[in-house]
Amino acid sequence: MAGEHRPDYEALLARIRATLAPADTLEEIWIRDVVDLVWETFRLRRIKAAIMTSGTSQVLECELKVHAEPAEVEAWERSDRTDGVPEALTSRGISLDMLMGDAIWGRLDRLERIDRMLVSAEARRSAALRELDHHRSALGQRLRLSIAQAEEAEARAQTQALASMPAQASA
């Protein structure tokens, strides 16, 4: 998506692909699905944090305009706004936690929707991983069965080879 860093996505894909070492096309598809879902959760978490940060700044600005002198508001607006809660508010018992609480409350519907989207993406990611595990488990079971069958065939061949050898006279 616009604004996202494609090299970061490609690096995540490469790391997961290297860890899982896909054995076939199905595993490649599942790995891509997993990476897309991990990336989606990263995106949703960034959006959630941005909503909370923006909301807290807006609430802080409103509170300042109500409780602070115009000169204090102007000083805060000129600052980089990362110094925490201005004295004009802390002296009135207003904390950053209170401001964040107000910001969250005012945006609760959006945050809850994002949380539902996160839960959905994480559930889909888990399902994709389960499919990959199941595929590899079934592959491992088929491989073990094939090895057992090959060992049985080899044992039969050796038994037949021994049975068809001419009996040697004892000396």
- Rounded to whole angstroms, the Cα distance separating 86 from 91 reads 9
pLDDT for the residue numbered 169: 46
pLDDT for the residue numbered 19: 86
Inside any domain, residue 143:
no
Inside any domain, residue 159:
no
Inside any domain, residue 74:
yes
Q: What domain range is 16 assigned to?
A: 6-126
Instruction: Tell me the mean pLDDT per 10 residues along the chain, length 171.
Output: 83 89 86 89 90 87 83 76 72 84 91 96 89 77 71 80 61 46
Inside any domain, residue 100:
yes
Inside any domain, residue 156:
no
Inside any domain, residue 134:
no
Inside any domain, residue 151:
no
Asked if residues 122 and 41 have their Cβ atoms less than 8 Å apart, the reply is: yes
pLDDT for the residue numbered 51: 92
C-alpha count within 13 angstroms, C-beta hemisphere, residue 115: 8
pLDDT for the residue numbered 114: 96
pLDDT for the residue numbered 108: 92
Count: domains in the chain: 1
Inside any domain, residue 47:
yes
- Rounded to whole angstroms, the Cα distance separating 21 from 60 reads 49
pLDDT for the residue numbered 119: 96
Look up tokens 């079971």; give the residue.
141
